[in-house]
A and B are shown apart, each in its own frame.
Chain A
Amino acid sequence: MRRKELPALTHLQFLVLGVLRANEQPGRVIREAIATYGVRRSGPAFYQMMARLERDGLVEGWYEQITLSGQAVKERRYRIKPAGARLWSATQSFYESVSGAAARPRWSNA
């Protein structure tokens, strides 16, 4: 029987990668999305977390120039990398298997 392992992603990382699965997004949008789950991070703390995800090869980040009231602003954008997508799927399967296991009747005398 295959040994079951706990997921390598934290809830927050799972959430961030989930936001990025559908589309690439600017950091600001990801921060707003996770805020809807009650996770509030200051700008620097959020980008520190994103930098770690980048270092782990789960996401890819780059700067994109946009124009704001006639002024050029460089916005940080992110997209999920294949390793990130795989890890997210593995984590999701884990949660699904846990919920499936909880739903099956238990063979126990307890």
Chain B
Amino acid sequence: MRDVLSRLLPRRAREEWFEPSCCDAQIANRRWLATRTFLIFLQCWGLELRERALNLLPSQQSFVKPTESPKERIPMFWHDLRHAFRLLLREPGFTLAAVLTLALGVGGNVAVFAVVEAVLLRPLPYVDADSLVILRHRDRSTAVTKEFIAIGDYVDLAKRQAAFESIAAYGSPQVTIYGMDEPFRVRALSATADLLDLLRVRPQLGRLLTREDTRPGAAPVVVLSDQLWKSRFAGDPKVVGRGVKIGARDVQVIGVVPPGFHFPPTMQTDVIIPQAMPLEAPAGRKNGWTYSVARLKPGVGLKEGVANLAAISKRLEEEFPRSNQSTEYYALPLRDALVGDTKAALVLILGAVGVVLLIACANVANLLLARSLGRHREMAVRVALGAGQKRLVAQLLAESLALALCAGTAGVLIAIWGTRALVTLVPKSVDVPGLAEVHVNAWVLGFALLVTLATALVFGMLSALAVRKQDGSGVLVAAGRSSAGGGARRAASALVVGEVALAIVLLIGAGLILRSFSRLLAVDPGFTTDRVLTMEVAVPFERYRAPEAAKVFWQRAFEAVRAIPDVQEIGAAVVVPLTGNHWTASIDRPENPTPAGERPPEVGWQMSTGGFFKVLQIPLLSGRYFDDRDRPGSKTVVIVSEGLQKRYFDGQSAVGREILIGQTRAEIVGVVGNIRRADLSEAPRADLYFPFEINPSPQIRLFLRTAGDPAKVAPAVQSAIRGVEPSALFPETITMAEVARASLQIQNLALWLLGLFAATALALAAVGIYGVMSYTVRQRTREIGTRIALGATDRDIVWMVLGQGARLAVVGAVIGLTTGLLAARALGSLLFGVKPSDPLTLASATVVLIATIMIACYLPARRAARIDPARTLAEQ
């Protein structure tokens, strides 16, 4: 970030002010170094602009000017501001155009910043949250990153690490509480004893979890959230010691946490239950998995923490090659872990909307330039009456401030509406902290004020440039003519070139996202999502703990659901495809085992019924689906994907062959087609399916293929299952089409917003170039009249004007294409199947832009061709 900001500063500011200030901040080890760097960057620009403004003021005035004491400055400023507002009221057309253009830019920026503030900048609700990190692991051989760590490795990491205060394990299961009227589902935080200590949580009542509570075989206990304590236990101060039934177990309430506590930050926490953890690493190091969080020791940086984990990972690889080969653990700041992909999308959108503001600024600057040229006489009179350039600049600054204040106010109103619209656009599945609390608060208003003042300063400086070289006598004479200096025309042209360049950058971005999105939509996931409903079903654990009982129940439930006329197929599984699931299991071939000291290959796994394949129409390539032959106690069988057959059986039929999964020997009974399991952008991997029929559990996902709208079937399915088990719960019901859409929502959001910004940018650039060309044509009226009188045809004049516009467009397009190519790299993580330098996108963006600009130039060109030479020459 520092390097990028540094490049955005002029050389002097960069070398003399920015670099040493950043170093000092780094040495002082300030928190929020990124924010600090940004502040230093802003301060440097402030100083730079101030120096430039001072340089604009001539050291000697050609006219005697009244001196102004510091005491007079403030009333004079108010006078200027009042005058500026009166001027704006006098020219409602100009004011409306300028304020609306700017308000759109400011509003868009403030709305996006409101989301950025809530998601990326607002402190997390934990003490010293900056030193909290999430532990993850990556498999170097497959490049797959997982959010959880193996229990065996967790135990060793916690013992061997030296960089962290402590490491804690946690999970977020849903549990059912019984024995209080109706059973109800709550979100639990299962935690080791260190977790609450590490998060610096103190009990509101009773005590928190201790190491004794998390030892295997300890008496079951629970800590309640403040909200649950108040809503379900009526805030009973004697709740500590009471018993409740969670799932199949009677547990004792031992305490209540303070109001507002929840972990992980994106989830609600209703109860906290102990997560049992072995004291020594088990032999099957990867038989269980857990999420893990840690707190860095004071004075220890993230890099040192990561290095410590890498060193331990290496040692574990050497000690346990069969389980840990190419497994690497690393730490990620808590916020980064939570925000994930959304950060890139948000920063991208903030950048895009910033570009729109710049284009809006360029447009308004053009309007102001045109207006300031029309005010030459007024300025000349002021100078002649003794106004110094300082006075003129002060007045122009007050005018831009008035304009920016109006635009800022309108922008905030747009932002209040835009923020709501933006939050609605963000997919519900995006689990990002702070998204629920996005609003225009003091920070956001501060940002709006900053943007407003910055735009006022930019316009003020531009207007000051326009009056810089005026001196009294010269301007009075020149003001008699309507023409203006080449400087102003060049400035207007430069602004248009800038607008075109910026617009093309946005067009390239939107084009790339559009192409990537269409590629993603065209991807075949390997299964059908149309007319498929998926429903999570949970039944009381203690009643269906035995596999036989569960099997009988599910058989009856499936029969009841099949009886519904609209249901064509029914199946069940534990993992919903396209939800980012990366569960893997090690496999080995008995006839060709992995050599000692090497890690057996890992494949993705799923547990499903035979019906699951039929519902999703995953083709059976050979063998059979799971059926009634597979029942609790029967021989373990598995179905493998085509990818697994190809990779581990050299493409020969795997049906009838055996594989080892841990210590279990399983027979392959079928081979099915590949599917994209985690998400659409990920190539299909080798997958393995266990039969749900052999090990049915009390909580599963149902998959139903329906004749009509799947969503309409849901109530009938729920009542059919409740007919078999009245206390069945249905935590989530969603169609597969919705799941598929949700998996593309970030790209969809980026597409919508970038598309919107690109269209706005294009429209603004077109308006900008139209304004400049109209102004140029007005200025060249006499010249064009003379040309027509000398024999130029309509077509010559139209081509002449179009050519001038085309030159600006081409210069802008070349600059924009170069910048766009560099900027497109930032899109890398959001693109699928398209390179950032995709020639088709670059060409289309250029064609669209140049065509739009030519249309915008055509109107002034037609007007130029209709100039009456007799009238213009007579006027001359």
Contacts and interface: CB of A to CB of B under 8 A. Distances in A.
A17 to B, nearest CB: 18
Contacts of A43: 17, 20-22, 24-25, 40, 43
A101 to B, nearest CB: 30
Nearest to A75: B23
Interface centre among A43, A70, A73 (most CB of B within 10 A): A43
Given A27-B24, A28-B27, A43-B43, A74 B17 contact: no
A68 B17 contact: no
Interface in B1-43: 12-13, 16-28, 40, 43
B64 interface: no
B24 A28 contact: yes
A100 interface: no
A46 B28 CA distance: 16
B218 interface: no
Interface residue SS majority, chain A? helix
Contacts of A45: 43, 47
Interface centre among B23, B43, B47, B304 (most CB of A within 10 A): B23
B505 interface: no
B17 A75 contact: no
Contact of B17 (A28, A51, A69): A51
Contacts of A46: 21
A76 B22 CA distance: 11
Contact of B26 (A42, A44, A73): A73
B20 A47 contact: yes
Contacts of B40: 42-44
Interface string B783-814: 00000000000000000000000000000000
B44 interface: yes
B23 A44 contact: no
Contacts of A69: 301, 303-304
A39 to B, nearest CB: 16
A44 B19 contact: no
Interface string A43-57: 111111011000000
B47 A44 contact: yes
A78 B24 CA distance: 14
B25 A51 contact: no
B376 to A, nearest CB: 36
Contacts of A48: 16-17, 47
Given A28-B24, A28-B27, A43-B40, A74 B47 contact: no
A21 interface: no
A81 interface: no
Interface in A58-88: 66, 68-70, 73-76
A43 to B, nearest CB: 3
Contacts, number: 61
A27 B43 contact: no
Nearest to B18: A44
A74 to B, nearest CB: 6
Contacts of A50: 16
A74 B23 contact: yes
B17 A31 contact: no
A74 B26 CA distance: 10
Contacts of B301: 69
A52 to B, nearest CB: 9
Interface string B648-686: 000000000000000000000000000000000000000
A98 B19 CA distance: 41
A69 B23 CA distance: 13
B16 A51 contact: yes
Nearest to B16: A51
Interface residues of A, number: 20
Given A51-B16, A69-B301, A44 B21 contact: yes
A66 B26 CA distance: 12
A70 B17 CA distance: 24
Interface in B341-369: none
A7 B25 CA distance: 34
A73 B23 contact: yes
Interface centre among A48, A69, A73, A75 (most CB of B within 10 A): A48
A27 to B, nearest CB: 5
Contacts of A27: 20, 24
Nearest to B15: A51
A42 B27 CA distance: 15
A82 B540 CA distance: 88
Nearest to B41: A44
Contacts of A51: 12, 16-17
Interface string B383-411: 00000000000000000000000000000
B21 A75 contact: no
A59 to B, nearest CB: 13
B18 A28 contact: no
B306 to A, nearest CB: 12
Interface in B35-85: 40, 43-44, 46-47
A51 B19 CA distance: 13
Interface in A25-48: 27-28, 31, 42-48
Contacts of B24: 27-28, 31, 43, 75
Nearest to B28: A28
A74 B25 contact: no
Contacts of B12: 51
A47 B23 CA distance: 12
Contacts of B13: 44
A76 B24 CA distance: 9
A44 B16 CA distance: 8
A70 B40 CA distance: 24
Contacts of B47: 44-45, 48
Interface centre among B12, B16, B19, B47 (most CB of A within 10 A): B16
Given A42-B43, A45-B47, A74 B19 contact: yes
Interface string A75-110: 110000000000000000000000000000000000
A44 B43 contact: yes
B16 A75 contact: no
A43 B21 CA distance: 5
A42 B18 CA distance: 11
A76 B23 contact: yes
A69 B19 CA distance: 19
Nearest to A42: B43
A45 B45 CA distance: 11
Contacts of B303: 69-70
A44 to B, nearest CB: 4
Given A43-B43, A44-B43, A44-B44, A68 B27 contact: yes
Contacts of A76: 19-20, 23
A75 B44 contact: no
A99 B862 CA distance: 80
A12 to B, nearest CB: 16
Contacts of B43: 42-45
Interface centre among B18, B24, B27, B28 (most CB of A within 10 A): B24
Nearest to B307: A70
A69 B26 CA distance: 10
Interface centre among A47, A66, A76 (most CB of B within 10 A): A47
Nearest to A28: B24
Contacts of B19: 74, 76
B16 A68 contact: no
Contacts of B25: 43
A43 B40 CA distance: 7
Interface centre among B18, B20, B21, B44 (most CB of A within 10 A): B20
A75 B27 CA distance: 9
5 contacts: A43-B25, A44-B18, A48-B16, A74-B19, A75-B27
Please give me the 3 A-B residue pairs with the lowest Cβ-Cβ distance, nearest first. Answer: A43-B21, A76-B20, A44-B17
Given A45-B43, A50-B16, 17 more contacts: A27-B24, A28-B27, A28-B28, A31-B24, A42-B40, A43-B22, A44-B13, A44-B17, A44-B40, A44-B43, A44-B44, A44-B46, A44-B47, A46-B21, A69-B301, A73-B26, A75-B20
Interface of B: 12-13, 16-28, 40, 43-44, 46-47, 301, 303-304
